[in-house]
């Protein structure tokens, strides 16, 4: 076998992985060596005859596992954005092995003994602020991983962690298979109502799939949502909608319902092992919210106003449908279609009129230039660098003094082998423990590729959102790797991304970057005014579908008897209990709710987007109050949040930025719900 590129020194510019040389068969031996090396490093720390110190224990742990981390980041990034059968098989094989590896570290009694000794003496160690937080967080992480359990409890904790890793992997792969296996093939006669941009995207998707002369709608959100919004064919809308919302719901190999059941049972058992009443109580104990009552209070403050607003919206849609000759009650596959018609009528605004001004390349430049004005960073595209797919574009990020900040990869298009949704990740995080290490950050979107690629306003917001996450990684100045960038509490991690969305809607941004793809003319002032006025349109619908998903998440993870849960029956019971409007579906139904079940990151934590929206709406109001959305002193304080990572408590960071605690009124105003209270 030739030299394994994952194990050899990387010589590519900026430390980029040698993507072209990496083959699937390289991963297993690299994972194995990486785990072996880290276990040897951990054993040296745990068995050391020297008395525990911050340097020989905590900092030594921060240095451990560098090879495993490097291999893992490459593998999991590519298995999300450029996967294939071979990578999926490796993911299934190594998910439990990697979980077992982490459990061996977290449950090592000698290692924890050293950490506990330092934690007990922490006030006497002369630690800097970031070091104190690192030690306290490390001790807490070990306790929450089972370090205080008896041997039988530790064994069971390791078994649960390994099985959950397998189930999470299978869940995500099943959703991807459903999304890639299904397609709606159309003829020209089936395109009634679809604007040119939607037809072009459907033609491009058909060509990508080798279906010449026809059109294809897929279950990627960027494909199916425009179809549901514009297609005049109610029968085809229903077909597409039901396929979209039934991902994961079918008997056979890719049925996610039994996986959900087992995941919930194991999570509840894990929580009980650690002394918590439910998995939600366990997860929220280490969050800004701290307890389920705080989450439920936030969701209830939004839920009833959102339902009232949605009820008024439904009446208006039904009246419009009847005027157009549709006597049937508005169904879930009708809402987007009639909402778009009503939006056109109410604001004299047509998505097909707006999208020509939202060219992907221009929106990317808007995001870059906003970052420069706020934070003093610059993005310059680089050619000839190694990439894992031709769609990816790569940029060097520098500060205004010309210093290298990091590398930014932009992967914007939906394609076969790429998971749906949008996310930020990294191939390398920043730290300065042993000298400056610059980050390599990647943003993934799933826009429908076309020539040109035109975005909806919502898609442009998604681009800004993910770029906000990207800046959180790029601007990080944490000394220690485990505190870098987005390594913060789950209900704070969305704040840097969500506040960044506001700069897209700033009139000065749109006047400069929203230019027509053919003429280069800026968006007309009248259209700009109508576009901004329409931003709160249909917010009852949007808030209901999101909040219902957050309520369903909490219900799943607080149920006292998860072993008795039938997924669909439970879903319907929750929907009925909360009074879900029948014309609106939960944004993510359980069997494809990847935030919850393809990993544990947002399990009992999907509320985090709304929690962070309280912060971001309130936070952006500071710029509005200053009369300048680029006010330099506020921008500098905001940059401190992006730079700090997990070196300080998140509320402390927010208070330093805003000068006071956040208030929910800004969120209700932002979503247009204040009048609906």
User: Residue holding tokens 């601007």?
Assistant: 475
Helices (H), 274-359: 279-284, 292-323, 335-347, 351-354
Smallest Cα–Cα separation from 173: which of 287, 258, 102, 88? 88
Q: What residues have CB less than 8 Å from 433, skipping those under 6 apart?
A: 59, 62, 63, 479, 480, 481
Q: Where are the domains of the chain?
A: 13-106+108-148, 182-245, 356-499
CB 468 within 8 A of CB 434: no
Q: Are 102 and 160 in contact (CB under 8 A)?
A: no
Please pick, among 313, 466, 613, 621, the residue that the annotation labels catalytic.
466
- CA 452, CA 586: separation in Å to the nearest integer? 32
* 382 class by beta-carbon count within 10 Å (0-12 exposed, 13-18 middle, 19+ buried): middle
Residue 487 to residue 398: CA distance in whole angstroms: 23
Q: Which two structure tokens, joined as six digits, stand for 617?
A: 């709406």
- The pairing of beta strand 423-428 with beta strand 440-447: antiparallel
408 φ, ψ (degrees, to nearest 5): -125, 120
Q: Which residue, among 392, 396, 391, 421, has the nearest Cα to 406 in the 3D structure?
A: 396
- What pLDDT was estimated at residue 536? 87
What does the pLDDT look like over 331-357, one tens digit per residue?
A: 999 999 999 999 999 999 888 889 999
Q: Which residues of 449-488 are buried (b: 16+ CB within 10 A; e: fewer)?
A: bbeebbbbbebbbbbbbbbbbbbbbbbbbbbbbbbbbbbb
Closest CA to 537 of 363, 667, 673, 333: 673
Query: How many angstroms separate the CA atoms of 21 and 448, rounded?
Result: 29
Element holding 380 (H helix, E strand): strand 377-381
343 with 537: CB under 8 angstroms? yes
Question: What whole-number distance in Å separates Cα of residue 106 and Cα of residue 64?
Answer: 13
> In terms of CATH architecture, what is 356-499?
3-Layer(aba) Sandwich (3.40)
Residue 550 confidence (pLDDT): 98
Distance, in Å, from the CA atom of 101 to the CA atom of 337, rounded to the nearest integer, reads 50
Is there a cis peptide before residue 464, judged by omega within 30 degrees of 0?
no
pLDDT number for residue 675: 58
- Residue 126 exposed, middle or buried by CB count within 10 Å (0-12, 13-18, 19+): exposed
Cross-strand partners of 359: 454
In the Cβ-directed half-sphere of 261, how many Cα atoms lie within 13 Å? 12
Residues 6+ apart with CB under 8 A from 127: 54, 135
How many H-runs (helices) and E-runs (strands) does the chain carry? 28, 7
Give the SS3 label for residue 410: strand
Range 612-615 contact pairs with CB under 8 angstroms and sequence separation of 24 or more: 612/491, 612/492, 612/493, 612/494, 612/495, 612/497, 612/498, 613/494, 613/498, 613/667, 613/670, 614/298, 614/662, 614/663, 614/664, 614/666, 614/667, 615/492, 615/495, 615/498, 615/499, 615/654, 615/662
Q: Would you tell me which CATH number, out of the four given (1.20.1050.40, 3.30.300.30, 1.10.1060.10, 3.30.465.10), belongs to the domain 13-106+108-148?
A: 1.20.1050.40
**Largest alpha-carbon pair distance within the chain?**
83
- DSSP assignment of 80-148, as one string? HHS--HHHHHHHHHHHHHHHHHHHHHHT-HHHHHHHHHHHHTGGGS---HHHHHHHHHHHHHHHHTTTT
CA distance 513 to 363: 7
Backbone angles phi, psi at 379, to 5 degrees: -120, 120
- DSSP annotation of 443 reads E
pLDDT tens per residue, range 191-220: 999 999 999 999 999 999 999 899 999 998
To which residue do tokens 């000759």 refer?
A: 325
pLDDT at residue 35, as a whole number: 98
What are 143-160's pLDDT values in tens digits?
999 999 999 999 999 999
Q: Which residue has the tokens 């070091």?
A: 131
**CA-CA distances (angstroms) from residue 510 to 194, 354, 412, 593, 645?**
25, 12, 21, 33, 30
What span, in angstroms and rounded, lies between the C-alpha atoms of 207 and 218? Answer: 13
Rg (CA), the chain: 25
Those residues whose C-beta lies under 8 Å from the C-beta of residue 670, and which sit 6 or more positions away, are 613, 617
Compute CA 440 distance to the chain's CA centroid, rounded to the nearest angstrom.
Answer: 18
DSSP 555: H
Report how far apart, in Å, the C-alpha atoms of 2 and of each of 20, 86, 384, 386, 458 are.
14, 19, 25, 20, 47
Cα distances (angstroms) measured from residue 279 to each of 176, 295, 326, 523, 559: 27, 14, 46, 49, 9
466 is catalytic: yes
* 203/645 Cα distance (integer angstroms): 43
The C-alpha atoms of residue 561 and residue 163 are separated, in whole angstroms, by 20
pLDDT averaged over 10-residue windows placed end to end, the chain, 677 residues = 89 97 98 98 98 98 98 98 96 97 98 98 98 98 98 98 98 94 96 94 93 94 94 97 95 94 98 98 96 96 96 96 92 97 91 93 98 98 97 98 97 94 97 97 95 94 98 98 96 97 96 97 95 92 97 98 96 97 97 96 96 96 97 98 97 96 92 70
Cα separation of 382 and 551, whole Å? 44
- 391, 411 Cβ separation under 8 angstroms: yes
């Amino acid at each position: 076998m030739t030299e394994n590129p994952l194990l050899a020194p990387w010589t590519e510019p900026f430390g980029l992985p040698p993507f072209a040389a990496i083959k699937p068969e390289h991963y297993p031996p690299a994972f194995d060596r990486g785990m072996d090396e880290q276990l040897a490093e951990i054993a040296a720390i745990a068995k050391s005859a020297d008395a525990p110190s911050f340097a020989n224990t905590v900092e030594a742990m921060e240095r451990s596992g560098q090879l495993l981390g490097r291999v893992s980041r490459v593998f999991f990034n590519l298995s999300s954005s450029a996967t294939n059968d071979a990578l999926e098989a490796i993911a299934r094989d190594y998910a439990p092995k990697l979980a077992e590896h982490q459990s061996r570290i977290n449950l090592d009694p000698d290692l924890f003994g050293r950490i506990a000794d330092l934690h007990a003496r922490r006030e006497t160690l002369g630690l800097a602020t970031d070091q104190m937080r690192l030690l306290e967080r490390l001790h807490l992480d070990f306790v929450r991983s089972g370090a205080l359990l008896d041997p039988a409890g530790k064994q069971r904790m390791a078994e649960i962690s390994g099985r959950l890793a397998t189930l999470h992997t299978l869940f995500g792969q099943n959703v991807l298979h459903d999304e890639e296996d299904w397609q709606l093939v159309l003829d020209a006669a089936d395109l009634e109502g679809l604007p040119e941009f939607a037809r072009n995207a459907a033609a491009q998707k058909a060509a990508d799939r080798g279906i010449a002369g026809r059109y294809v709608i897929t279950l990627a959100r960027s494909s199916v949502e425009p179809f549901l919004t514009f297609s005049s064919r109610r029968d085809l809308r229903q077909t597409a909608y039901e396929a979209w919302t039934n991902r994961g719901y079918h008997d056979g190999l890719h049925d996610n319902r039994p996986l959900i059941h087992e995941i919930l049972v194991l999570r509840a058992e894990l929580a009980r092992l650690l002394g918590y009443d439910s998995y939600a109580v366990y997860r929220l104990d280490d969050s800004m919210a701290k307890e389920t009552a705080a989450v439920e209070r936030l969701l209830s403050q939004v839920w009833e106003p959102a339902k009232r607003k949605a009820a008024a919206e439904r009446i208006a849609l039904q009246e419009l449908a009847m005027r157009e000759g549709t006597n049937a009650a508005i169904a879930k596959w009708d809402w987007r279609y009639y909402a778009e018609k009503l939006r056109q009528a109410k604001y004299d605004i047509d998505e097909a009129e707006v999208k020509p001004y939202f060219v992907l390349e221009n929106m990317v430049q808007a995001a870059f230039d906003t970052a420069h004005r706020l934070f003093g960073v610059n993005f310059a595209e680089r050619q000839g660098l190694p990439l894992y797919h031709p769609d990816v574009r790569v940029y060097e990020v520098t500060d205004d003094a010309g210093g290298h900040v990091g590398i930014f990869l932009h992967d914007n298009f939906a394609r076969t082998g790429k998971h749906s949704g949008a996310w930020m990740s990294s191939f390398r995080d920043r730290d300065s423990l042993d000298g400056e290490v610059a980050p390599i950050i990647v943003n993934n979107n799933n826009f429908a590729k076309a020539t040109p690629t035109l975005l909806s306003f919502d898609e442009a917001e998604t681009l800004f959102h993910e770029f906000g996450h990207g800046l959180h990684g790029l601007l990080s100045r944490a000394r220690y790797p485990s505190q870098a960038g987005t390594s913060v509490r789950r209900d704070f991690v969305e704040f840097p991304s969500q506040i960044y969305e506001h700069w897209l809607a700033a009139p000065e941004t749109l006047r400069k970057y929203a230019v027509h793809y053919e003429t280069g003319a800026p968006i007309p002032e009248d259209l700009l005014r109508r576009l901004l006025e329409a931003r709160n349109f249909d917010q009852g619908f949007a808030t209901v579908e999101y909040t219902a998903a957050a309520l369903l998440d909490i219900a799943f993870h607080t149920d006292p008897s998860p072993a008795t849960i039938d997924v669909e029956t439970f879903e319907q019971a929750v929907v009925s209990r909360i009074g879900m409007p029948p014309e609106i579906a939960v944004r993510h139904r359980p069997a494809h709710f990847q935030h919850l079940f393809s990993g544990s990151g947002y399990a009992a934590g999907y509320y985090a987007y709304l929690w962070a929206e309280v912060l971001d709406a309130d936070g952006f109001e500071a710029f509005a109050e200053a009369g300048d959305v680029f006010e330099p002193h506020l921008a500098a304080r905001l940059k401190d949040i992006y730079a700090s990572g997990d070196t300080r408590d998140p509320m402390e960071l927010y208070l330093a930025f805003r000068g006071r605690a956040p208030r929910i009124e800004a969120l209700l105003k932002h979503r247009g719900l204040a009048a609906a209270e």
